[in-house]
């Protein structure tokens, strides 16, 4: 029961070894520091020293980097326990190596399902993201656990029959960090990044197959409309993420997601988006107090670091879109610059300013925030062409909900022509 990954040895270990006991102590202290005693389910050395428990460690040249265990629940199910990485080894993939080893052991031993309980607090977001990337999905309590606001329960089906039709996990995809770097590099390239926003799998495939497509962006407004919801976080996050996940797995391009204002917890939402393969995202400030908006930016960027990627945050300011109808546009511009500078200082690579349309406004934004730091939206009949935006130094232009409106306009026009006794357009292409 041993495997080697990048020079690390993952193997059975003695729970009573001195260094193991030390790391177990850290694991218990963390768990108990985050939850009341009755909701902290981490096992101590005595509980792990049991015939039903298989205990493993990750070591490099003898140095203990991480631990994990597999507990037999019954003939068909096992539970993951005691997943913990040494503080000095975090961010290197130790947890992923241990998780892959435990899943392999469970498969080899004939288990059909692996379950786990982990914390639901923000401090456990990196762990939850790790499990989601490996294919785990949330489930109800099991094996005597009870529902609790402190716990998240997850399960992974291992049998081939039950996995038929399951989307590939992120571990089946090209390296997530490489996708993130590709997307980041596209924002600093001399050529402007042009994104035609998509809303479902077929729109994603059509755009991805079009010459000039280098990345994809999802449109929250359009996805919500597809499911019959109004814009503005009215679509449930799980449903929203479900569509985004299908888009990610349908294309080979980096995908950035519009997760609106973060659904109440920007960092947690970003972690969930990363877990389904997203490597960038839009975050609205909705003109919240600047310190709150900067904290949200920081939370999203931290989620990216916890996942080991340079998450490409398109930090949006609503200085124009939420201004009063009679507001002076010069004042809105000043506010956009003030907020944009704060987001860049916090680490956001680019600032999104919807509503900035005129050449003078866009030029002023680039002058204040820097070349390849400004992102805008293309509004039909109003915005500057992408070629002119590139000359001004804009990093990115996207189409938001307007691409769906273009498609729906074509649909309505075609339907009207048929209803009027005509035919569908002769130039219609078989894109589905």
Least confident span in 41-45, 88-92, 196-200, 211-215: 88-92
With 0.75 as the threshold, say if the pTM is over it. no
Position 6 scores a pLDDT of 57
Least Cα distance to 101 among 1, 169, 224, 226 occurs for 1
In the predicted model, what is the mean pLDDT of residues 108-122? 90
Cα gap 247→9, rounded to integer Å: 36
Position 243 scores a pLDDT of 95
Domains and CATH numbers, the chain: 3-166 (3.40.630.30), 176-407 (3.20.20.60)
DSSP bridge pairs for 152:
118
- Is residue 372 scored above 80 in pLDDT? yes
Q: What percent of the chain has pLDDT above 70?
A: 94
Q: What is the pLDDT of residues 303-313, one digit of tens each?
A: 999 888 999 99
How many Cα atoms are found within 13 Å in the side-chain-facing hemisphere of 292?
10
- Is residue 406 scored above 60 in pLDDT? yes
pLDDT band at 171 (very low <50, low <70, confident <90, very high): very low
Position 2 scores a pLDDT of 63
- Is residue 249 scored above 90 in pLDDT? no
Three-state SS for 392-414 is HCCCEEECCCHHHHHHHHHHHHH
Least confident span in 110-124, 201-215, 267-281, 322-336: 110-124
- Is residue 361 scored above 80 in pLDDT? yes
Largest Cα–Cα separation, the chain: 84
Least Cα distance to 311 among 328, 294, 324, 298 occurs for 298
* Phi-psi map region of 59: left, alpha, beta (phi>0 left; psi -120 to 50 alpha): beta
In the predicted model, what is the mean pLDDT of residues 174-196? 89
Cβ neighbours of residue 379 under 8 Å, at least 6 residues apart? Answer: 357, 402
Cα gap 152→35, rounded to integer Å: 13
Position 1 scores a pLDDT of 59
Position 3 scores a pLDDT of 64
Q: Report the chain's mean pLDDT, rounded to a whole number.
A: 91
- Is residue 161 scored above 50 in pLDDT? no
DSSP bridge pairs for 282:
258, 314
Q: What is the pLDDT of residues 268-288, one digit of tens each?
A: 999 999 988 999 999 999 999
């Amino acid at each position: 029961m041993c495997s080697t990954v990048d020079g690390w040895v993952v193997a059975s270990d003695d729970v009573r070894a001195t260094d193991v006991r030390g790391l177990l102590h850290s694991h218990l202290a963390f768990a108990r520091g985050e939850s009341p005693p009755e909701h902290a389910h981490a096992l101590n050395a005595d509980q792990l020293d049991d015939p039903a428990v298989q205990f493993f460690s990750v070591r490099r040249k003898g140095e203990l980097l991480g631990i994990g265990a597999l507990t037999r629940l019954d003939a068909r199910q096992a539970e993951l326990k005691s997943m913990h990485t040494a503080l000095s080894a975090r961010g290197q993939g130790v947890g992923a190596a241990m998780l892959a080893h435990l899943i392999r052991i469970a498969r080899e031993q004939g288990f059909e399902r692996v379950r786990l309980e982990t914390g639901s607090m923000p401090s456990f977001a990196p762990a939850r993201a790790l499990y989601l990337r490996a294919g785990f999905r949330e489930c109800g309590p099991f094996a005597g656990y009870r529902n609790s606001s402190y716990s998240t329960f997850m399960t992974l089906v291992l049998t081939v029959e039950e996995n038929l039709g399951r989307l590939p996990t992120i571990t089946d995809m090209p390296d997530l960090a490489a996708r993130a770097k590709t997307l980041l590099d596209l924002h600093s390239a001399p050529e402007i990044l042009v994104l035609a926003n998509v809303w479902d799998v077929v729109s994603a495939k059509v755009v991805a197959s079009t010459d000039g497509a280098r990345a994809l962006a999802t449109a929250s407004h359009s996805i919500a409309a597809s499911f019959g919801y109004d814009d503005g976080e009215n679509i449930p996050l799980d449903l929203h993420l479900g569509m985004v996940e299908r888009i990610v797995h349908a294309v080979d391009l980096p995908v950035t997601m519009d997760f609106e204002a973060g659904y109440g917890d920007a960092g947690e939402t970003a972690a969930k988006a990363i877990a389904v393969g997203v490597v960038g995202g839009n975050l609205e400030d909705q003109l919240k107090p600047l310190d709150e908006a900067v904290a949200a930016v920081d939370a999203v960027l931290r989620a990216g670091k916890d996942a080991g990627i340079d998450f490409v945050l398109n930090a949006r300011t609503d200085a124009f879109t939420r201004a009063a109808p009679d507001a002076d546009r010069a004042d809105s511009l000043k506010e956009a610059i003030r907020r944009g500078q704060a987001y860049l200082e916090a680490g956001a690579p680019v600032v999104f300013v919807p509503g900035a349309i005129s050449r003078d406004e866009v030029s002023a934004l680039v002058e204040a925030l820097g070349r390849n730091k400004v992102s805008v939206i293309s509004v039909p009949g109003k915005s500057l062409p992408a070629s002119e935006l590139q000359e001004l130094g804009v990093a990115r232009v996207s189409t938001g909900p307007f691409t769906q409106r273009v498609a729906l306009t074509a649909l309505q026009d075609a339907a009207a022509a048929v209803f009027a006794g005509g035919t569908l357009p002769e130039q219609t292409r078989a894109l589905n």
